[in-house]
């Protein structure tokens, strides 16, 4: 019994010593607070035309952060967000951020569940968007459930206004650092169809 008690005491001590390590591992990266200002609490956006990054594939987030840092993807709202200097425009906030920190951010947001999508939907628009998404074979790259994979972004539950804004820009070939296949895929698609697709995808909760 004495030996058993000692082992129990040692086991308890070990758990107590490891607890801070588990807590630290679960703590969000320091820079996540900067990301959340625009992308919303825990990466779930509440701002118009700003995407949610929670639940996006880790590789996709990593790739986008690197492209932005290296100036290979032009995002006016992100000018300077990846630099260490702080001014009124957050100029250069991703410059000089090491790959290891970008990977940490990507892992953090990829592990967060995206917020529940709006419950209300326009039935006709939703059904039209569902039909178009199947006809255009969007699920081939983004997966049938539209949760994304690797470098392909998650579309299910993404902000409706952001997806419409992005698809319009892609259709007009006004984007830098994006998949050129998307520009081809959206060529000639009517704006009303883009609205339907955006509405449908934004209501999915996969």
pLDDT tens-place string over residues 117-127: 998 999 999 99
CA distances from 78 to 73, 84, 95, 187 (A): 10, 13, 11, 27
pLDDT of amino acid 57: 98
Name the residue ranges covered by the structural domains of the chain: 32-110, 123-202
CATH architecture of 123-202: Orthogonal Bundle (1.10)
Position 23 pLDDT exceeds 50 = no
pLDDT in the model for residue 206:
77
CATH homologous superfamily of domain 32-110?
Answer: Cytochrome c-like domain (1.10.760.10)
Given a cut of 80, is residue 81 above it in pLDDT? no
pTM for this model (two decimals): 0.80
Q: How confident is the model at residue 9 (pLDDT cuts 50, 70, 90)?
A: very low
Between 37 and 20, the more confident residue is: 37
pLDDT, tens digit (0-9, with 9 covering 90-100), for 160-192 = 999 999 999 999 988 776 778 898 899 999 999
H helical segments located in the chain = 2-26, 32-39, 58-69, 99-110, 123-135, 139-142, 160-171, 180-185, 191-202
Structure tokens at 183: 């520009």
Are 32-110 and 123-202 equal in CATH topology? yes
* Mean local confidence (pLDDT), 31-53: 94
């Amino acid at each position: 019994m004495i030996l058993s008690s000692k082992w129990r005491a040692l086991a308890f001590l070990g758990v107590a010593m490891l607890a801070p390590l588990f807590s630290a591992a679960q703590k969000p990266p320091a820079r996540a607070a900067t990301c959340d200002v625009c992308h919303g609490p825990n990466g779930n956006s509440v701002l118009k035309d700003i995407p949610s990054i929670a639940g996006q594939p880790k590789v996709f987030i990593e790739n986008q952060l690197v492209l932005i840092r290296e100036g290979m993807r032009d995002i006016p709202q992100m000018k300077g967000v990846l630099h260490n200097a702080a001014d009124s425009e957050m100029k250069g906030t991703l410059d000089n951020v090491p790959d290891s920190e970008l990977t940490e951010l990507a892992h953090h947001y990829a592990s967060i569940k995206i917020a529940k999508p709006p419950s209300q939907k326009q039935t006709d628009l939703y059904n039209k968007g569902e039909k178009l998404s199947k006809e255009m074979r969007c699920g081939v790259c983004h997966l049938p459930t539209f949760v994304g994979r690797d470098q392909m972004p998650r579309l299910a539950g993404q902000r409706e206004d952001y997806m419409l804004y992005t698809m319009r820009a892609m259709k007009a070939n006004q984007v830098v650092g994006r998949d050129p296949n998307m520009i081809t895929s959206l060529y000639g698609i009517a704006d009303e169809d883009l609205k339907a697709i955006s509405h449908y995808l934004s209501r999915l909760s996969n």
